A and B are shown apart, each in its own frame.
Chain A
Amino acid sequence: MTDSMQHDSAAPAHHKALPLAGNSAVPFFTPGVIVIAILAAAGVATLIARLFLGLGAITNFNDQYPWGIWIGIDVASGVALAAGGFTMAFIAHVMNNEKYHVLVRPALLTAAIGYTFVGLGVCIDLGRYYNIWHVMMPSMWQGNSALFEVGMCVMIYLTVLYIEFLPIVCERFIGRVNLPGVLSKMNGFLDGLLRILDKTLARVMTFFIIAGVVLSCAHQSSLGTLMAIAPSKLYPLWHTPVLPLLFLLSAFAVGLAMAIFESVLASRSFKRPIEMDVLSPLARMIPLLLVVYFAAKVIDLVNRDAWQLLFQANFRALMFWIEIGVGVILPTFLFLSHRLRRSPVWLFSAAAMVVFGVVLNRFNVFVTGYTPPYSEGQYFPAWTEIMLTVGMISLIVLLYRIWVFIFPVLPAEEEVEHA
């Protein structure tokens, strides 16, 4: 069982990954990165303002619309877009698909950073964020709550993701522990510890990989269960008892799309050839997943007799059409074409559409589709809400860049060229 892991955790024979620092001519700071750093700083400033001034001062939340874009985008979309972690773990490790191993580490890193920010996003939104530890106290466990399930699963899964990332940290420092001055006496000891840790991890990693997939399926779907509790408030185009199934199916598709999306972006940013030999075959699986998701959505709409709402001329119907048209139908056809799958531009565009479609779906379920009975006008986010969301996304991008510079996440360049 552990055999499959050793390729990845211990010295990888087939796919060597290297940190960019010292192995790439690309500088850490570019004009784009500086812009992102400024946005991230603005986001952190907004976060501090939120902590001291409270939700009322920073947001447009009110008694009619208690949730806004922080739940719709930072949390719900964040979870969906981090699905690359478990879908790639499934394809590469569970199904032992050697070819895709190069994509596992970037997807894992995205998931680890992404889920860290999902947790942070939840805390930012909580009125009493300092009570978040209550969720872990058995005396307060509340098994009826879908939110409890999501909270527990996300916390455990985040831990699993960190454990899955540890072998990469070991690989980075084994044989390279070099503390300065007096501390240098510790070098040998620390190196030994890292080696023991690495060996232990290699033995138990199978368990964590499978657990990660199971935990992901559980909370990706439970995130959909959340809004199922509001049948009279969520617009019927989106409210259905099978919301958890729809969330899970769309997470499968967007997991692969995200792996392609970020791989292309990273290649461009780090001036490396795009890994078309891996990405094109990966893209072949997406239409099937999208068709299954699409079919489930259509069957559900017909089943509940809600399809007529699609043909009413209103804002929500339009949002649904965009979600399905641009996010599901169009990319299905694009990905089906062999020629377009081999084109980096089309491949990237189609993946971006799937990502957009799933984000819009989560946004519709949590924000635009929410129709409280006593509403005094539609919720629209405050500029400070938007600034915080943009800032947190920028911070994610920045952290990803820092991590790939320090740790061996991206495949060594020679190999990409030779592949």
Chain B
Amino acid sequence: MVSRRDFLKITGTAAGTAALTAVGAEASAPHPKLDPDRFGVLTDTTLCIGCRRCEWACAEQNGLPHGDLESYGDISVFEKMRRPDAESYTVVNRYSPPTGTEQPLDVKVQCLHCEHPACVSACIVGALEKSPMGPVIYDPWKCIGCRYCMIACPFQIPAYEYANPLTPMVMKCTMCSERTLEEGRPPACVEMCPPEALVFGRRSELLELAHRRIVENPDRYHPEVIGEHIAGGTSWLMITDRPATEIDIPDLPNESPAVITETIQHGIFKGFTGPLMLFGILSILMKSSSDKRKEKEDEND
């Protein structure tokens, strides 16, 4: 049974390639060229008062449906945990007060603008892009609506306009890129925040600020800057009074999930070596089997 043996050969080659790439996944993949002075935002959840004015400012800035500012004083929304959706890029959730205090912990949720974003890596047409200056930006004109970015995002952030039959968009925080990148102004939510729980600035400086606050107030903060390392790091940073998982941040490794697929992709398709090799092997197999059959036929004749 020639076919059996040769099936094994091919399988072996494929297995070898895959095994190699799996090993290679340990190595880090190339990062997009990030500017050392790129922007970020720092959320200090211990300063947040749950006024939800950031939600209003965001909706106003981005043309999303919203009521007047007063309507955002309604705190009954805190009864359940909310997620950003197709009509809101950001929401604030309320958690129980830390032991021994009365003041609840309020946590703003929005896109964290990963340093090595899985959504950008997944996007089939480059409709999502990581600006070297920080924001992850969406171009609806390129988008084909496959929603693979939603599968890829480990923070489950991108939402989709399912109700729009013809021109649905992926909806997520833009870090107000038109303000931050073109005018150097802070995002709408940051500008609005009364207790200055949100700070806009260079990511490197925000990291320093965050660590300084933790060191100076060890009782107030859990000693971790969320976003410094998680999933390869994020442009949006957070400090809070408890471990990240207790404010519903998923427990993720310090490597972007995009590293896995990018390593596999580049391992197999770099310079088309894999496919070309397979093409060569198959051509040789076909030639030799054809010759063998001819010999047989000649013998029979």
- In chain B, positions 139-161 with a C-beta closer than 8 Å to chain A are 142-148, 150-152, 154-156, 158-161
Q: Give the distance to chain B from A244, nearest Cβ to Cβ, in Å.
A: 6
Enumerate chain A residues within 8 angstroms of B275, measured Cβ to Cβ: 214-215, 217-218
A340 an interface residue at 8 Å Cβ cutoff? no
Q: A94-B289, A217-B278 are known contacts. Are A66 and B147 too (CB-CB below 8 A)?
A: yes
Instruction: Check B15 against A245 for contact (C-beta < 8 Å).
Output: yes
A374 and B154 alpha carbons, distance in the complex (Å):
10
Enumerate chain B residues within 8 angstroms of A211, measured Cβ to Cβ: 279
- In chain B, positions 115-157 with a C-beta closer than 8 Å to chain A are 118, 120-126, 142-148, 150-152, 154-156
Q: A95-B289, A225-B264, A285-B7 are known contacts. Are A54 and B166 too (CB-CB below 8 A)?
A: yes
Instruction: Check A127 against B14 for contact (C-beta < 8 Å).
Output: no
Instruction: Check B148 against A226 for contact (C-beta < 8 Å).
Output: yes
Q: A241-B22, A285-B3 are known contacts. Are A125 and B151 too (CB-CB below 8 A)?
A: no
Tell me the interface secondary structure of chain B in the complex: helix
Instruction: Check B287 against A230 for contact (C-beta < 8 Å).
Output: no
Instruction: Check A129 against B145 for contact (C-beta < 8 Å).
Output: yes
Using an 8 Å CB-CB cutoff, how does the interface string of B230-255 with A read, 1 for contact, 0 for none? Answer: 00000000000000000010111100
The stretch among B177-185, B217-225, B290-298 that forms the contact with chain A is B290-298
Instruction: Check B151 against A227 for contact (C-beta < 8 Å).
Output: yes
Instruction: Check A52 against B124 for contact (C-beta < 8 Å).
Output: no
Instruction: Check B165 against A54 for contact (C-beta < 8 Å).
Output: yes
Q: A129-B145, A232-B257, A245-B14 are known contacts. Are A64 and B125 too (CB-CB below 8 A)?
A: no
Q: Give the distance to chain A from B168, nearest Cβ to Cβ, in Å.
A: 4
Q: Give the distance to chain B from A225, nearest Cβ to Cβ, in Å.
A: 5
Enumerate chain B residues within 8 angstroms of A59, measured Cβ to Cβ: 162
A36 and B191 alpha carbons, distance in the complex (Å):
61
A145 and B122 alpha carbons, distance in the complex (Å):
5
Instruction: Check A93 against B261 for contact (C-beta < 8 Å).
Output: no
Q: Give the distance to chain B from A337, nearest Cβ to Cβ, in Å.
A: 17
User: Considering only CB atoms, which chain B residue lies closest to A256 in the complex?
Assistant: B7
Enumerate chain A residues within 8 angstroms of B269, measured Cβ to Cβ: 143, 149, 218
A296 an interface residue at 8 Å Cβ cutoff? yes
A372 an interface residue at 8 Å Cβ cutoff? yes
B258 an interface residue at 8 Å Cβ cutoff? yes
Instruction: Check B83 against A374 for contact (C-beta < 8 Å).
Output: yes
* Chain B interface residues (CB < 8 Å from chain A): 1-4, 6-8, 10-11, 14-15, 18-19, 21-22, 25, 81, 83, 85-86, 118, 120-126, 142-148, 150-152, 154-156, 158-168, 248, 250-253, 257-258, 260-262, 264-266, 268-269, 274-275, 278-279, 282-283, 285-287, 289-290, 292-294
Top 9 nearest A-B pairs (CB, nearest first) are A127-B145, A54-B165, A56-B162, A245-B18, A66-B147, A96-B289, A66-B150, A128-B145, A127-B168
